[in-house]
Amino acid sequence: MTERFDDAQLTRYSRHFLLKGFGESEQAALRSARVLLIGLGGLGGVAALYLAAAGVGDLTVCDHDAVELSNLQRQIIYGDADLGTAKTEAARSRLEGLNPDVLVRTIDQRLNGDRLVDAIEHADLIVDASDNFETRYALNRTCFRVGKPLVYGAAIGTAGQAAVFVPGNGTGCLQCLFDPEQDDPERDCHSAGVFAPLTGIVGSIMAGEAIKVLTGFGTSLAEHLLTLDARDMRMRRTLRPREPGCPICGTGG
Amino acid sequence: MKAKDRRLAELRRSIPEVSPEEALAMQKAGAALVDVRDTDEIAQGSPTGAHRLGRSYLELRVEEAVPDMDQPIVVMCAGGVRSLFAADALKNMGYTKVHSIAGGFSRWKNEGRPFEVPKMLDAEARERYARHILMPDVGEAGQLKLLNSKVLLIGAGGLGSPSSYYLAAAGVGTIGMVDHDVVDQSNLQRQILHREDTVGLPKVESARRALLALNSKLNFVAHETHLDSSNVEEIFSGYDVIVDGTDNLATRYLINDACVKMGLPNVHAAVYRFEGQLTVFWPEYGPQHGGCYRCMFPNPPPPEMAPSCAEAGVLGVMPGTLGLLQAVEVLKILLDIGEPLVGRMLHYDALGARFTELKIRTNPNCPYCREGAEFPGYEDYAQVCASTKS
Ligand SMILES: [Zn+2]
């Protein structure tokens, strides 16, 4: 284990240390963790806030957009004064203001090809808070190639879902859930409405799942898909389908 | 002849046209009047009782407004041309009795038929809340409702942080917060409303800064005080929904009793370590007749049975998820959509990422919420240690 926590940190994380099974070694695992978070919209913003609050030591946030007025209906990490600013910059200052112990790195461009592989290789865990299927499939593919756990979440209208994909555990990947040939462009959040707090629920659940994977605390959604509908508050946790012949994660493929 | 004119001639043969006078008579007899003009045109006036669906999302929204394919529909635009195309689209969807108003709104207005100037969002609000306006469940009318709503949160801690943030983001016009604590460094592990540079400030002041930074149009009301029987009704009055995010059991009873007495919905959440629960106590709500907190726990436990006063651990993100679920229930109540969690309790186990739903029973003899009950009066309980601080 690395060096001990100082008094300020012991105070800051005191409510974690009071938890049975969550001690200094779990908090140290968060402090030494490197998390890559793709997409600083409704899901990514709140996930980043809770990861920073919980004490993740090294957080890389990636987004190439600037803050727009229509974001502020649900992206609580920003504010009126951030309009026009790069999301990565606005998020960095907000996250550092919440927890100065966190090293926040920013990537202000769309990652693909070698740069995506590089970024994923340098991280312990990847949070997919992107808003389009192209990015989602690329992240899934690369995480399975490089062997890094991937926390996935999505929200549209009043419906949301979350899952954790762990290469090598034999419980399938994103592509076992969806067919890239058939994905529906209408499901892109750019063209559809989204219920403000729904993105927050999914984003906070994603942060919780990331914390569980990084610390080994609790049972993550590594085998399940969580689906929720905010309209009538129905939540379901189901065993995920997996395709034995999946070209990404299948053993037969 | 241009293609447009050829097509119009075809449509005039297949879509029956009616005068404003006939349309009004049809509307009175139960037909749906669908106004397909753009928002800036509707802002100048629209027939009383019309469904203002616009043209761009007409096919996506119409079933919400007119679920019966055999209900007669009269379509209106400004001059009677666009309404022909829109009427054709509705026919293609399967509506069987579609008409178009000849001469459109200009003729409707000239002939003195009834219209109103709807309250509208300004251009900035339309942009800000665009993703809500796109939702059939919210729309422009729903967003206006939110902007005119008033929500009071008790507690600016782990639950109140995300719920107030998202209510402010979603456009709830007035948010009040009751809290008499100051921000402590140990809060920052989960209370995302606060930050390093507001440590030591009253929580309501820290909250005010954070929420106004997010949405400068918000009307924020700080109640930096301890809730007790002498001030509870004065503080609660004028609010549409009360959100219980307190970590204090005595306060929880007070919130319950005041909400029952005043007929206010009480959106309740509590967290303990890795688990949380959520429900809406609202005895006056519709068919369910859900009970109140006292139906479950008639009185606080005696001191020797009460949980320890020591702070309990809590997984940082845990109250976050619960507070967000509270925000969802608040917005559903304000917008009157879906089914509120009345008479059922959602239990969340963060360790297993598992939600379960329990039915909660109403006590038919509850002295507080049973029908026709005389209000028994408030109880100012001495310090009863709560299960946890959130
Ligand atoms: Zn009762």
Do B71 and B166 fall within a single domain?
A: no
User: A10 CB near a chain B CB, below 8 Å?
Assistant: no
Mean pLDDT of chain A: 91
Q: Spot the catalytic one: B77, B259, B309, B366.
A: B309
A20 CB neighbours in chain B (<8 A) are 273, 313
Query: Best of B189, B199, B309, B333 to disrupt the A interface by mutation (most A CBs within 10 Å)?
Result: B189
Beta A224-229 vs A159-165: how paired, if at all?
A: antiparallel
Mean pLDDT of chain B: 91
- Does any domain span residue B375? no
Do B215 and B261 fall within a single domain?
A: yes
- Does any domain span residue B390? no
The closest alpha carbon to B32, from B67, B57, B59, belongs to B67
- Does any domain span residue B153? yes
Query: What is the layout of strands, in order, in the sheet containing B32-35?
Result: B17-18, B98-101, B73-76, B32-35, B51-52
Report the half-sphere exposure of A14 (CA within 13 A, side-chain side): 15
The closest alpha carbon to B32, from B92, B99, B94, B80, belongs to B99
Name the band, by pLDDT with cuts 50, 70 and 90, for residue A185. very low
A72 CB neighbours in chain B (<8 A) are 128, 169, 214-215
Q: Dig out the tokens for B205 from the structure.
A: 């002041």
Q: Which amino acid makes up residue B136?
A: P
- The predicted-structure confidence for B104-126, as pLDDT tens digits, reads as follows 999 999 999 999 887 788 899 99
Residue A151 CA to residue A174 CA, distance in Å, equals: 10
- Does any domain span residue A8? no
> For chain A, how many structural domains are there in total?
1
Do B181 and B324 fall within a single domain?
A: yes
Instruction: Determine the residue of chain A that is closest to B316 in CA distance.
Output: A54
Q: Which residues pair with A159 in a beta bridge?
A: A156, A229
Share of chain B above pLDDT 70, in %: 95
Secondary structure (3-state) at A129: coil
Do B65 and B208 fall within a single domain?
A: no
Residue B151 CA to residue A231 CA, distance in Å, equals: 19
> Inter-chain contact A197–B190, Cβ cutoff 8 Å?
no
- Does any domain span residue A3? no
Do B114 and B155 fall within a single domain?
A: no
Can you tell me the mean pLDDT for B9-32? Answer: 95
- Under 8 Å between Cβ of A202 and A154: yes
Residue B241 CA to residue B150 CA, distance in Å, equals: 7
User: A31 CB near a chain B CB, below 8 Å?
Assistant: no
- The predicted-structure confidence for B203-214, as pLDDT tens digits, reads as follows 999 999 999 999
- Does any domain span residue B352? yes
User: A209 CB near a chain B CB, below 8 Å?
Assistant: yes
Residue B207 CA to residue B158 CA, distance in Å, equals: 12
The winner for highest mean pLDDT among A16-20, A110-114, B96-100, B303-307 is: B96-100
CA dihedral B219, B223, B224, B230 (to 10 degrees): 170
Residue A218 CA to residue A22 CA, distance in Å, equals: 10
Q: Which residues pair with B52 in a beta bridge?
A: B35
Name the band, by pLDDT with cuts 50, 70 and 90, for residue B355. very high
Q: Dig out the tokens for B389 from the structure.
A: 């601080």
Specify the CATH number for the domain of residue A219.
Answer: 3.40.50.720
- The predicted-structure confidence for B239-294, as pLDDT tens digits, reads as follows 999 999 998 888 999 999 999 999 999 999 998 888 899 999 998 887 667 899 99
- Under 8 Å between Cβ of A125 and A33: yes
What's the gap in Å between B269 CA and the centre of ligand 1? 17
Cβ-based neighbour number of residue B355 at 10 Å: 20
Q: Dig out the tokens for B325 from the structure.
A: 């679920």
How near does any CA of chain B get to the CA of A27, in Å? 11
Residue A44 CA to residue A204 CA, distance in Å, equals: 9
The residue range of the domain holding A102 is 21-239
> Inter-chain contact A73–B132, Cβ cutoff 8 Å?
yes
Cβ-based neighbour number of residue B296 at 10 Å: 16
Do B165 and B110 fall within a single domain?
A: no
Residue B179 CA to residue B194 CA, distance in Å, equals: 13
Do B114 and B164 fall within a single domain?
A: no
> For chain B, how many structural domains are there in total?
2
**Top-confidence residue, B179 or B383:** B179
- Does any domain span residue B220? yes
> Inter-chain contact A15–B190, Cβ cutoff 8 Å?
yes
- Does any domain span residue B62? yes
Q: Dig out the tokens for A52 from the structure.
A: 């920073």
Residue A161 CA to residue B338 CA, distance in Å, equals: 19
Query: Best of A9, A14, A15 to disrupt the B interface by mutation (most B CBs within 10 Å)?
Result: A15
- Under 8 Å between Cβ of A76 and A200: yes
Name the band, by pLDDT with cuts 50, 70 and 90, for residue B365. very high
Least confident of A61-75, A239-253, B67-81: A239-253
> Inter-chain contact A218–B341, Cβ cutoff 8 Å?
no
Question: What pLDDT does residue A182 have?
Answer: 62
| DSSP string of A182-194, one letter each residue | T--GGGSTTTS-B
Q: Note which residues in 87-106 of chain A have CB less than 8 A from chain B.
A: 97-100
Which stretches of chain B are assigned E, i.e. beta strand?
Answer: 17-18, 32-35, 46-47, 51-52, 73-76, 98-101, 115-116, 150-154, 174-178, 219-223, 241-244, 266-272, 275-281, 344-349, 354-359
Predicted confidence (pLDDT) at residue B78 exceeds the cutoff of 60: yes
Do B174 and B319 fall within a single domain?
A: yes
Query: Best of A204, A221, A228, A231 to disrupt the B interface by mutation (most B CBs within 10 Å)?
Result: A204
| DSSP string of B228-253, one letter each residue | -TTTHHHHHTT-SEEEE--S-HHHHH
Q: Note which residues in 135-174 of chain A have CB less than 8 A from chain B.
A: 157-158, 162
* Nearest by CB: B189 against A53, A73, A198: A53
- Does any domain span residue B142? no
**Top-confidence residue, B337 or B151:** B151
| DSSP string of B274-342, one letter each residue | TEEEEEEE-TTSTTT----HHHH-SSPPPTTTSPPSSPPPB-TTHHHHHHHHHHHHHHHHHHT-S---B
Q: Which residues pair with A163 in a beta bridge?
A: A152, A225
Q: Which residues pair with A86 in a beta bridge?
A: A66
Q: What is the ipTM of this complex?
A: 0.91
- Does any domain span residue B138? no
Predicted confidence (pLDDT) at residue A2 exceeds the cutoff of 90: no
What's the gap in Å between B290 CA and the centre of ligand 1? 8
> Inter-chain contact A19–B313, Cβ cutoff 8 Å?
yes
- Under 8 Å between Cβ of A146 and A126: no
Question: What pLDDT does residue B308 have?
Answer: 64
CA distance to A25, B28, B233, B369, B389, per residue, from B284 (Å): 50, 33, 18, 9, 29
User: Which of B118, B133, B163 is the C-terminal boundary of a domain?
Assistant: B118
Question: What pLDDT does residue A253 have?
Answer: 36
Do B96 and B168 fall within a single domain?
A: no
What's the gap in Å between B369 CA and the centre of ligand 1? 4
Long-range contacts formed by B207-214: CB under 8 A, 24+ apart: B207/B156, B207/B160, B207/B161, B207/B164, B207/B177, B207/B179, B210/B165, B211/B164, B211/B165, B211/B168, B211/B175, B213/A79, B213/A80, B213/A81, B214/A72, B214/A76, B214/A78, B214/A79, B214/A80, B214/B165, B214/B168, B214/B169
* Nearest by CB: B339 against A50, A220, A232: A232
Predicted confidence (pLDDT) at residue B388 exceeds the cutoff of 60: no
- Does any domain span residue A221? yes
- Does any domain span residue A29? yes
- The predicted-structure confidence for A117-168, as pLDDT tens digits, reads as follows 999 999 999 999 998 888 999 999 999 999 999 999 999 888 999 999 999 8
Can you tell me the mean pLDDT for B15-25? Answer: 95
Do B178 and B112 fall within a single domain?
A: no
Predicted confidence (pLDDT) at residue A9 exceeds the cutoff of 70: yes
B309 CB neighbours in chain A (<8 A) are none
Do B203 and B298 fall within a single domain?
A: yes
The residue range of the domain holding B331 is 149-359
Instruction: Determine the residue of chain A that is closest to B335 in CA distance.
Output: A231
Question: What pLDDT does residue B373 have?
Answer: 87
Secondary structure (3-state) at A50: helix
How near does any CA of chain B get to the CA of A9, in Å? 9
Q: How many residues would you count in chain B?
A: 390
Report the half-sphere exposure of A46 (CA within 13 A, side-chain side): 34
| DSSP string of A54-83, one letter each residue | HT-SEEEEE--PBP-GGGGGT-TT--GGGT
Specify the CATH number for the domain of residue B204.
Answer: 3.40.50.720
Predicted confidence (pLDDT) at residue B128 exceeds the cutoff of 90: yes
Question: What pLDDT does residue A186 have?
Answer: 45
CA distance to B291, B340, B342, B343, per residue, from B286 (Å): 12, 10, 9, 11
Specify the CATH number for the domain of residue B28.
Answer: 3.40.250.10
Predicted confidence (pLDDT) at residue A231 exceeds the cutoff of 90: no
- Under 8 Å between Cβ of A196 and B168: no
Q: Dig out the tokens for B269 from the structure.
A: 């959440």
What's the gap in Å between B31 CA and the centre of ligand 1? 44
- Does any domain span residue A245? no
- Does any domain span residue A9? no
Residues lining ligand 1 (ion), CB within 5 A?
Answer: B 291-292, 294-295, 366, 368-369
Question: What pLDDT does residue A187 have?
Answer: 53
Radius of gyration of chain A (CA): 18
pTM: predicted TM-score of the whole model, two decimal places: 0.82
Name the band, by pLDDT with cuts 50, 70 and 90, for residue A188. low
